[in-house]
Amino acid sequence: MLGKRADLRISDRVFGHALRVRNRARPTSTGTFISQLRDLDQVRDMLTSTTVATVADMPFFLLFLGVLWYVGGALALVPLAALVLLLLPGLLAQRRLRMYATESMRESSLRNAMLVESVQGIEDIKALQAEDRFHHQWNHYTAVAGEAQLRLRGLTNGLSVWTQSVQSGVYAAIIFVGAPLVIAGDITTGVLVATSILGSRMMAPMAQVTQLLSRFQHAKVAMGSLNQIMALPVDTADADHRIPLPVVQGDFALRSAVFTYADPNAPPALTVQTLDIAAGERIALLGRNGAGKSTLLQGLSGMLQPVSGEVLLDGLALHQVDPADVRRDIGLLTQTSRLFHGTLRENLTLGAPMASDREISEMLAMVGADGMVRRLRDGLGHVVQEGGRGLSGGQIQGLLLARLLLRQPSVALLDEPTAAMDEGTERHFIARLGAWSRTRTLIVATHRIRMLEIVDRIIVIDNGTIVLDGPKDQILAQMRGTRSAAA
């Protein structure tokens, strides 16, 4: 029970922390991140009942040693010497065990990273006929990981064989030392038999100590990996500096804000000297691919914090506002948003668990996905496969929009919301979105001209900086003039 409780508490803390790691601090490899979380199994092995029982049995060795000394005198030195022979190799091998365990976990982590990446991109691998390349890469990682595990297993097996040899040799050693004492009349035959049995039995729990020493290095390396995760910064602000925000109005202000992703040496993804957005504004973000539109949306949502400068929400520093309050009223749809395994209803109500069927139907109708749901045999009970496999890109995008809008956010940040829609569905959705957003703040990154019909302001971003910002008609006129001059 003690091991189970400790396991549950550690698992809860590690997974809860992993869910809240800031996007900028998250490991770049999903497979490596998963491997780090799986290292929890190594820690679990140290918390088993066997470990607890072994530690609890250790004081009894001293008790039995005293009894053995009382009964057999100098024969008690045999188990004591055996204890030294048991522990010394395990202690001396700790450095090599740590090195082999680290190498084994590192190679297994690389193999898992490659496995996750291959499974996620299996369709592209097949389409490009790249199976052989990934197969050879997998075999290489498996061979290297196997060699590392073989060295580790060889050392631990050697320690186990040595432990068994010493444990079984205690009986023979007591007989060998005690026989001359019996012949000399110093002890009786009964004492020799009793000490030999007691000596061999008392070594059993101590033999487990060698295995504990081997598992200790596994757990120590795993704890180092878990500590790396626990050291990553999380979204939740410090309790002492957290500012509650009962209602988000949607007033944003950016001052000398610089945004970067995982690589600190890479040039900034976006630099904003000054930007003010008033509550209720409807804004379109325009720019080429990679210009920084998505980064700006991430920064406004609080998912990506600036490395310098600040982002203000309703006059408060965004990083100090309770993330629960920010995410309650700010809805973000990214290009990487996804559906999860479960029913349509479970996916749609993921952020609004109390939503009624009528509200769900209204949002599905708004995005033009109501007809698709009606055609499904199980309707909202239809089971969605992982990532929405089996659904078209437009259907997935419609469901993602419905899921977001069902929360009725006061601020909607949409990244290419109609990129996968057909023309008819797009026209229908934009008209409904225009009516829905009249009392809300709407910021849309888009390449679609039709989306400009419902916005009042345009911000043009190029190479990570804002180059144009103003009323829609004025910016469109400037862009037309620039194109005419270039022609």
Please give the full DSSP string across 327-392, using - where no structure is assigned: HHHEEEE-TT----SEEHHHHHTSS-TT--HHHHHHHHHHHT-HHHHHHSTTGGGPEEPGGGTTS-
pLDDT digits (tens, 9 = 90+) for 401-425: 999 999 999 999 999 999 999 999 9
CB 229 within 8 A of CB 107: no
Q: What is the pLDDT of residue 157?
A: 87
Mean pLDDT (the chain) is 86
Map residue 403 onto helix, strand or coil. helix
Question: At 330, phi and psi to the nearest 5?
Answer: -115, 120
What would the pLDDT profile of 8-65 be if each residue is shown by its tens digit? 777 788 888 888 887 777 777 777 777 777 777 777 766 665 666 677 777 777 787 8
Return the pLDDT at 7. Answer: 66
Mark residue 280 as left, alpha or beta (left: phi above 0; alpha: psi -120 to 50; beta: remaining): left
Confidence of residue 264 (pLDDT cuts 50, 70, 90): low
Question: Quick one: 47 exposed, middle or buried, by C-beta within 10 A (0-12, 13-18, 19+)?
Answer: middle
What are the tens digits of pLDDT across the range 370-402?
A: 999 999 889 999 999 888 888 899 999 999 999
Half-sphere exposure of 404 (CA within 13 A, CB side): 26
Instruction: Give the DSSP letter string of 198-245.
Output: HHHHHHHHHHHHHHHHHHHHHHHHHHHHHHHHHTS-BSSPPTTT-B--
Nearest Cα residue to 369 out of 418, 442, 332, 328: 418
Map tokens 């995982």 to a residue. 262
Over the stretch 121-162, which tens digit does the pLDDT of each residue have?
888 898 888 999 989 988 988 888 888 888 888 888 888 888
pLDDT of residue 447: 92
The stretch 301-324 carries a mean pLDDT of 91
For the chain, list the domains and their CATH numbers: 2-230 (1.20.1560.10), 252-486 (3.40.50.300)
Whole-number Å distance between alpha carbons of 94 and 147: 19
pLDDT band at 238 (very low <50, low <70, confident <90, very high): low
Encoded tokens for 182 = 């019996």
- Eight-class DSSP state of 1: -
List Cβ neighbours of 328 (8 Å cut-off, separation of 6 or more): 248
The pTM for the full model equals: 0.76
- pLDDT at res. 367: 94
d(CA 337, CA 440) in angstroms, rounded, equals: 22
And the tokens for 144? 């290297």
What does the pLDDT look like over 241-260, one tens digit per residue?
688 889 999 999 999 999 98
pLDDT at residue 1 greater than cutoff 70: no
Give exposure, 95-113, as e/b (b: 16+ Cβ within 10 Å). eebbebbbbbbbbbbbbbb
- For the cut 60, the answer to whether the pLDDT of residue 327 exceeds it is yes
Give the chain's largest Cα–Cα span: 118
List, for residues 46-61, the tens digit of each pLDDT value.
666 566 667 777 777 7
* Degrees to nearest 5, angle at CA 12 with 6 and 13: 90
End-to-end CA distance of the chain: 77
Q: What are phi and psi of 445, to 5 degrees?
A: -90, 125
Residue among 32, 25, 171, 57 at smallest CA distance from 115: 32
In whole angstroms, what is the distance from residue 179 CA to residue 161 CA?
27
Consecutive H or E run containing 277: strand 270-277
Instruction: Quote the CA–CA distance of 332 and 396 in Å, as a whole number.
Output: 16
Residue 198 makes CB contacts below 8 A (sequence gap 6+) with 64, 67, 68, 71
* Assigned token pair, 198: 């007691």
Query: 237 pLDDT exceeds 70?
Result: no
Number of H helices, E strands in the chain: 17, 12
pLDDT at 332: 96
36 or 435: whose pLDDT is higher? 435
d(CA 56, CA 52): 6
Token pair for residue 255? 């001052």
Average pLDDT over residues 64-83: 81
**Which residues are registered as beta bridge partners of 271?**
258, 465
At residue 240 the predicted structure's pLDDT band, cuts being 50, 70 and 90, is low
**pLDDT above 70: percentage of residues in the chain:** 93
Of 100, 103, 92, 105, the C-alpha closest to 43 is 105
**pLDDT grade, residue 485 (50/70/90)?**
low
**pLDDT over 60 at 359, yes or no:** yes
Q: In this structure, are residues 176 and 206 in contact, taking their beta carbons and an 8 Å threshold?
A: no
